[in-house]
Amino acid sequence: MTLLLAPIRRCALAGATFLLTACAGQAAVPSGADQAVAITVPTIARPQGETAQWWFRSGAAQAALASTQAHANGQQAKNVIVFLGDGMSLPTIAAAHILAGQRQSADGESYRLSFEKFPFSALSRTYETDQQTPDSAGTMTAIMTGVKTRAGVIGVSQQPLRQDCAGARGHELVTTLELAAAAGMSTGAVTTTRITHATPAATYAHLPERNWEVDAELTPEAKAAGCKDFAAQLIDFPAANGLTVAMGGGRTEFMRAGVPDPEYAGQVGRRLDHRDLIAEWQAHHPHGAYVWNARQLKALDLAHTPRLLGLFEPLHMNYEHERPQDPAGEPSLAEMTTAAITVLKQNPNGFFLMVEGGRIDHALHAGNAYRALDETISFSDAVKAALASTDPADTLIVVTADHSHTMTFAGYPHRGNPILGKVVGRTSSYAEKSSKVLATDATGQPYTTLGFASGPGYTGASDRQPEGPKHYPHYPHTYSDIQHGRPDLRKVDTTDPDYLQEATVPLKDETHGGEDVAIFATGPGAAAFHGELEQNAIFHIIVQHAPRVRAELCRLDSCNVAGVPVNRPRYADWLKQVETPRQP
* 136 is a catalytic site residue: yes
Q: Is the peptide bond before 446 cis (omega within 30 degrees of 0)?
A: no
Cα–Cα distances in Å, from 524 out to 81, 224, 533? 12, 46, 18
**DSSP letters along 93-137, please?**
HHHHHHHHHHHTTS-TTT---GGGGSSEEEEEE---SS-SS--HH
Q: Nearest 5 degrees, angle CA 361-CA 110-CA 121?
A: 60
DSSP code at position 252: G
Residue 226 contacts residue 163 (beta carbons within 8 Å): no
- Which residues does residue 91 pair with via DSSP β-bridges, in sequence order? none
- Which residues does residue 425 pair with via DSSP β-bridges, in sequence order? 413
| Catalytic annotation, pick one of 124, 136, 380, 404 | 136
The Cα–Cα gap between 318 and 327 comes to: 11
Taking alpha carbons only, the member of 137, 36, 34 closest to residue 361 is 137
The Cα–Cα gap between 273 and 284 comes to: 19
Distance from CA of residue 242 to its chain's centroid? 20
Cα-Cα-Cα-Cα dihedral sign, residues 460, 461, 463, 466: positive
Residue 525 contacts residue 545 (beta carbons within 8 Å): yes
Strand 499-500 vs strand 470-471: parallel, antiparallel, or unpaired?
antiparallel
Taking alpha carbons only, the member of 55, 43, 231 closest to residue 142 is 55
The Cα–Cα gap between 523 and 383 comes to: 13
Residue 161 contacts residue 169 (beta carbons within 8 Å): no
b/e per residue, 78-90, with b = 16+ CB within 10 A? bbbbbbbbbbbbb
The Cα–Cα gap between 32 and 22 comes to: 15
- Name the amino acid, one letter, at 398: V
Q: What residues are annotated to the active site? A: 136
